[in-house]
Amino acid sequence: MAEQPEYLRNPAGYALEVSRTLGAAALKGQKAWTSAMQAMWRGPMEMPVDPRDFGKAFLEFTQAWATSPQKLLELNARWAQDYFGLWTMFFRRVAGEEVEPVATPAAGDRRFRSDSWNDRLAFDFLKQAYLVVGRQLQDLVAATPEMNPESRAKVDFFVRQYVNAVSPSNFASTNPDVIAKTLATGGLNLLTGFSNLLDDLARGDGLVKHRSPADFELGRNIAATPGAVVFQNELMQLIQYDPSTDKVAKRPILFIPPVVNKFYHFDLSPRTSFLKWLVDQGYTVFVISWVNPDARLASMGIDDYVGLGPLAAIDAIRDATGEESVNVASFCMGGTLTAATLAWLAAKGHGDRVASATMIATLLDFTAMGDFSVFVSDAHIQAMRKYLEKRGFVDANDLTRLFSVVRANDQIWSPAVSHYLMGQESAPSDLLYWFADGARIPERMLNDVNANFVHGNKLREPGAVTVGGVALDLTKVTTPVYLVSLKDDHVAEWRGTYLGTQLFGGETHFLLGGSGHNAGTLSAPSANKHGYWFNEAPTPADADAWLAGAKKYEGSWWPRWEQWLKTLSGGEVAARKVGSGKLKPIEPAPGSYVRMRS
């Protein structure tokens, strides 16, 4: 057991600490009550999803099993064997035997990493019983006879959310670490946690705040790569970074982030900054920093985001450097926007304005969307349209809630246990700081994205999408393309992103990095982690066939990709000082648009 803190050995000090915590909780309780009353006064708000869509899926699920009682009996017989194995394991351990567990957490499941979940028999049994039942519930969904695949996916998603929510790690009385902390602190962790809960309720955004010391400041130790804004319009600022080498590649790099998140995911602390690393490799680097739009920009759609985004940036880079063409790198929906830009340029006969295009964790064919597919249906799209009509934009907190639900254990339950039950702060994290700094999307832009890309899945069809009156056809794009995906990506599942290799008319390369959607991109060579897979052969149509022929490499994927990029960078020139061309500095990086809070 952990050593008792000083205030527990001093009754007066303990009483003072409890009084202080209760006083803070009382003030937060008043704010939570005020927030709840304000929400009631505003009345019910439109939701960006339609919960009835999940209800229809469950109705189909129950009807399917009502007509298949024999199959349900077969499943029950199999489950009985699971329980027999579980109890046999328990009694053998009671007898002092070393026994292999009947259920173990999945790789990467951090809920049960404490030794107490394995060393103490009662908690080990509770953990394994939970894992067995959770597995059985998911098997029940998978075995449902004659069920629509879309409905099955929705039920499976809901069941997994339920299983995650009822984990014994989420409750004070069944989590050995919380019990130990409660005994060690005299229950002060629970009082502090209750105060934290009231604080979150007072904010009224429905999110578990990731509490950590306020160690980050934009422009100082995060988004701190030196440079300046050299161009701006109503949708974006264009940042050019100061060179750190005497010579730079002749062809500049333009980085295009997604519109839903702020660009500095790729410029976090200097040790993980992808953009700083590119500067240090000898490139002139530009990045788009999107505005955080409000209702005044509700009418801005895909035409505007292509025209005022990548196309405007390419022209501005020409003015800043004198170079007619750029190498483009992009991430997630920024990559989808890049593909649309490439097709637009090709249709206009200006495909040479982009010498190469790298798209990281980017879906171009939205056939396979992983867990996000359960939110793509006519009912959800109509709900989103009604929601947007009320505001003119999608709120950043609603987007954060959606992403959090998909990664509930990491984004909801783990911080809830840490902040509400353990009463403690998280270690400072530049990635969590960025994740909490969300951005809005205008009404028309999100409707365009849903109609043309996510729900409509039209980008893969030649001529099905138009931008500014120009029909887009990816098969006409001959620009060399490099697709980077992440093996454990929950947002852009890698087999889904791999489908993009079959869409372009020129050479296409594919690399599969380790880890997930956000962490996998932060693969600085100095960290020497994650690893990656690469296949020298041309990309076949089947993703698993590509992986079967790929070789696993240790370390970062950045240097291998940069070797390819260097061949398309046009040699070297003297380093370009920011402002040496036609564009003069407007304000220091990271600019003012990135500081706009939701």
pLDDT higher than threshold 80 for residue 10: no
- The predicted model gives 400-413 an average pLDDT of 85
pLDDT at 556: 96
- The predicted model gives 562-591 an average pLDDT of 97
Distance of alpha carbon 406 from the chain centroid: 9
Chain position carrying tokens 């929601």: 387
Q: Is 502 helix (H, G, I), strand (E, B) or coil?
A: helix
Cβ neighbours of residue 279 closer than 8 Å, sequence gap 6 or more: 225, 241, 242, 243, 244, 245, 285
d(CA 598, CA 595): 10
* 94-108-535 Cα angle (round to 5): 135
d(CA 329, CA 255): 5
**If you average pLDDT over each of 16-25, 276-285, 415-424, which comes out highest?**
276-285
pLDDT at 14: 55
Cis previous bond, 590, omega within 30: yes
pLDDT higher than threshold 80 for residue 211: no
Q: What is the pTM of this model?
A: 0.88
pLDDT band for position 43 (cuts 50, 70, 90): very low
Higher pLDDT, 378 or 239: 239
Q: Is 570 helix (H, G, I), strand (E, B) or coil?
A: coil
pLDDT at 13: 62
d(CA 230, CA 589): 9
Helices (H) and strands (E) in the chain, counts: 21, 17
pLDDT higher than threshold 80 for residue 561: yes
**If you average pLDDT over each of 435-444, 468-477, 523-532, which comes out highest?**
468-477
Question: Cα dist. 494→147, 247, 475, 513, 581 in Å?
Answer: 26, 36, 21, 10, 40
- The question of whether 332 is a catalytic residue gets the answer yes
Active site residue: 25, 147, 239, 332, which one? 332
- The predicted model gives 58-84 an average pLDDT of 89
pLDDT at 45: 57
**3-17, 136-150, 324-338, 484-498: lowest mean pLDDT where?**
3-17
With beta carbons less than 8 A apart as the criterion, state whether 239 and 591 touch.
yes
**If you average pLDDT over each of 98-102, 370-374, 588-592, which comes out highest?**
588-592
CA neighbours within 13 Å on the CB side: how many for 259? 28
pLDDT at 35: 53
Digit-coded pLDDT (tens) for 502-551:
999 999 999 999 998 888 898 899 888 889 999 999 999 999 999 999 99
Cβ neighbours of residue 36 closer than 8 Å, sequence gap 6 or more: 201, 204
- DSSP string over 124-166: HHHHHHHHHHHHHHHHHHHT-TT--HHHHHHHHHHHHHHHHHT
**84-93, 156-165, 202-211, 290-299: lowest mean pLDDT where?**
202-211
d(CA 352, CA 342): 9
Average pLDDT taken over every residue of the chain:
90
Domains of the chain: 46-185 (no CATH), 227-364+396-439+459-595 (3.40.50.1820)
In the chain, % of residues over pLDDT 90: 66
pLDDT at 375: 85
pLDDT higher than threshold 60 for residue 226: yes
Cβ neighbours of residue 549 closer than 8 Å, sequence gap 6 or more: 535, 537
With beta carbons less than 8 A apart as the criterion, state whether 286 and 240 touch.
yes
pLDDT higher than threshold 90 for residue 306: yes
**27-31, 232-236, 475-479, 584-588: lowest mean pLDDT where?**
27-31
d(CA 516, CA 410): 12
pLDDT band for position 40 (cuts 50, 70, 90): very low
pLDDT band for position 1 (cuts 50, 70, 90): very low
In the sheet with 587-588, reading across from the earlier edge strand, the strands are 551-553, 532-534, 508-513, 481-486, 354-360, 326-331, 253-256, 285-290, 236-241, 227-232, 587-588
